[in-house]
């Protein structure tokens, strides 16, 4: 009985340690995601402002279409790049949050038996 209590206490401590590590990794990853989103938002705003400025200065309809198509192309490419980067950051978040618990699941199953 005492052995089981000691095992349960150790398991509880290990689980708490894993949870704290997981929270730390989650916090760090979410901060990186927030920074990436803020940078992307700033880039989009700057690009939109520059495109609007160029569009207002266009002397012909042909030039306006050129400015608009360049803006749409660069916006799309920027969106795809940012989406890819964010996807990688979220995948890293999932891996980092799960990592501290990898060994814990086997221990829980062995202790419960």
Task: Please check the confidence at residue 1 and state whether its pLDDT lies above 60.
Answer: no
Number of domains in the chain: 1
List pLDDT tens digits, range 24-40: 888 999 999 999 999 99
Would you state the pLDDT for residue 22? 87
Task: Please check the confidence at residue 2 and state whether its pLDDT lies above 90.
Answer: no
Would you state the pLDDT for residue 54? 93
d(CA 2, CA 7): 9
Cα 28 to Cα 21, 56, 77, 98, distances in angstroms: 11, 42, 27, 14
Domain that holds residue 44: 2-112
């Amino acid at each position: 009985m005492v052995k089981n209590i000691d095992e349960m206490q150790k398991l509880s401590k290990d689980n708490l340690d894993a949870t704290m590590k997981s929270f730390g990794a989650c916090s760090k990853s979410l901060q990186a995601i927030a920074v990436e989103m803020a940078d992307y938002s700033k880039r989009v705003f700057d690009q939109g402002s520059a495109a609007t400025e160029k569009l207002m200065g266009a002397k012909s309809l042909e030039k306006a279409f050129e400015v608009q198509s360049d803006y749409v192309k660069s916006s799309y490419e920027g969106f795809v790049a940012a989406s890819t980067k964010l996807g990688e950051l979220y995948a890293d978040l999932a891996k980092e949050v799960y990592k501290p618990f990898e060994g814990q699941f086997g221990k829980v199953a062995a202790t419960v038996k």
